[in-house]
Protein backbone atom coordinates (compact mmCIF):
# COMPACT_ATOMS: atom_id res chain seq x y z
CA UNK A 1 0.00 0.00 0.00
CA UNK A 2 1.24 3.54 -0.69
CA UNK A 3 1.33 5.76 2.43
CA UNK A 4 2.75 8.93 0.92
CA UNK A 5 3.51 9.63 -2.70
CA UNK A 6 6.39 7.37 -3.66
CA UNK A 7 6.61 5.70 -0.23
CA UNK A 8 5.51 2.06 -0.08
CA UNK A 9 4.56 0.10 3.01
CA UNK A 10 4.52 -3.69 2.76
CA UNK A 11 2.59 -6.15 4.93
CA UNK A 12 4.04 -9.66 5.07
CA UNK A 13 2.93 -12.95 6.59
CA UNK A 14 6.35 -13.43 8.19
CA UNK A 15 9.43 -11.31 8.96
CA UNK A 16 11.40 -13.37 6.41
CA UNK A 17 8.94 -12.49 3.62
CA UNK A 18 9.07 -8.81 4.60
CA UNK A 19 12.87 -8.82 4.53
CA UNK A 20 12.98 -10.48 1.08
CA UNK A 21 10.51 -8.01 -0.44
CA UNK A 22 12.38 -5.05 1.07
CA UNK A 23 15.73 -6.35 -0.24
CA UNK A 24 14.24 -6.87 -3.72
CA UNK A 25 12.93 -3.28 -3.66
CA UNK A 26 16.38 -2.01 -2.73
CA UNK A 27 17.77 -3.76 -5.84
CA UNK A 28 15.17 -2.25 -8.20
CA UNK A 29 12.43 -4.91 -8.14
CA UNK A 30 9.38 -3.21 -6.62
CA UNK A 31 6.12 -5.05 -5.91
CA UNK A 32 3.32 -2.63 -6.87
CA UNK A 33 -0.03 -4.44 -6.77
CA UNK A 34 -1.83 -7.75 -6.67
CA UNK A 35 -5.28 -8.80 -7.83
CA UNK A 36 -6.70 -12.33 -7.68
CA UNK A 37 -5.42 -12.92 -11.25
CA UNK A 38 -2.35 -10.66 -11.63
CA UNK A 39 0.79 -9.37 -9.94
CA UNK A 40 2.38 -6.10 -11.08
CA UNK A 41 6.00 -5.25 -10.32
CA UNK A 42 8.46 -2.62 -11.50
CA UNK A 43 11.61 -4.38 -12.66
CA UNK A 44 14.44 -1.86 -12.85
CA UNK A 45 11.93 0.90 -13.66
CA UNK A 46 9.77 -1.04 -16.14
CA UNK A 47 6.21 -2.04 -15.15
CA UNK A 48 5.64 -5.77 -15.70
CA UNK A 49 2.33 -7.57 -15.13
CA UNK A 50 2.22 -11.31 -14.57
CA UNK A 51 -1.02 -13.23 -15.14
CA UNK A 52 -1.29 -15.86 -12.41
CA UNK A 53 -2.10 -19.34 -13.68
CA UNK A 54 -1.65 -21.27 -10.42
CA UNK A 55 -0.33 -20.87 -6.89
CA UNK A 56 0.92 -24.05 -5.25
CA UNK A 57 0.91 -23.31 -1.52
CA UNK A 58 3.61 -24.52 0.85
CA UNK A 59 2.92 -27.97 2.27
CA UNK A 60 4.79 -30.53 4.34
CA UNK A 61 5.37 -32.87 1.38
CA UNK A 62 6.83 -30.39 -1.14
CA UNK A 63 8.28 -28.07 1.53
CA UNK A 64 8.00 -25.07 -0.76
CA UNK A 65 5.59 -22.71 -2.47
CA UNK A 66 5.48 -22.15 -6.25
CA UNK A 67 3.78 -19.62 -8.52
CA UNK A 68 3.09 -20.31 -12.21
CA UNK A 69 2.43 -17.27 -14.39
CA UNK A 70 2.64 -15.62 -17.78
CA UNK A 71 4.63 -12.41 -18.28
CA UNK A 72 2.53 -9.76 -20.04
CA UNK A 73 4.94 -6.82 -19.94
CA UNK A 74 8.00 -7.82 -21.97
CA UNK A 75 7.87 -8.60 -25.69
CA UNK A 76 11.18 -10.50 -25.50
CA UNK A 77 9.96 -12.85 -22.73
CA UNK A 78 6.24 -13.64 -23.15
CA UNK A 79 6.44 -17.27 -21.98
CA UNK A 80 5.05 -19.19 -19.02
CA UNK A 81 7.28 -19.27 -15.95
CA UNK A 82 7.60 -20.92 -12.56
CA UNK A 83 8.82 -18.96 -9.53
CA UNK A 84 9.85 -20.78 -6.40
CA UNK A 85 10.92 -18.75 -3.35
CA UNK A 86 13.82 -20.19 -1.38
Q: Please enumerate in sequence order all residues whose Cβ is within 8 A of that of 21, keeping only pairs 6 or more positions apart, or say none.
A: 10, 12, 31
Q: Is the pLDDT of residue 34 over 80?
A: yes
pLDDT tens column, 46-77: 888 888 888 888 778 877 778 888 887 666 66
Considering the chain, what is the average pLDDT of its residues? 77
Query: What's the confidence (pLDDT) of residue 27?
Result: 92
3-state secondary structure of 35: coil
Query: What's the confidence (pLDDT) of residue 11?
Result: 76
Give dist(CA 15, CA 41) in Å, integer. 21
Task: List helix spans (H) across 1-86.
Answer: 15-26
Domain containing residue 20: 2-83
Q: Domain total for the chain? A: 1
**How many CB atoms are closer than 10 A to CB 86?**
8
Amino acid sequence: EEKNEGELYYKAQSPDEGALVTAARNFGFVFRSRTPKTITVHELGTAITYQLLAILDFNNIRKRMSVIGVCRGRAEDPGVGLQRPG
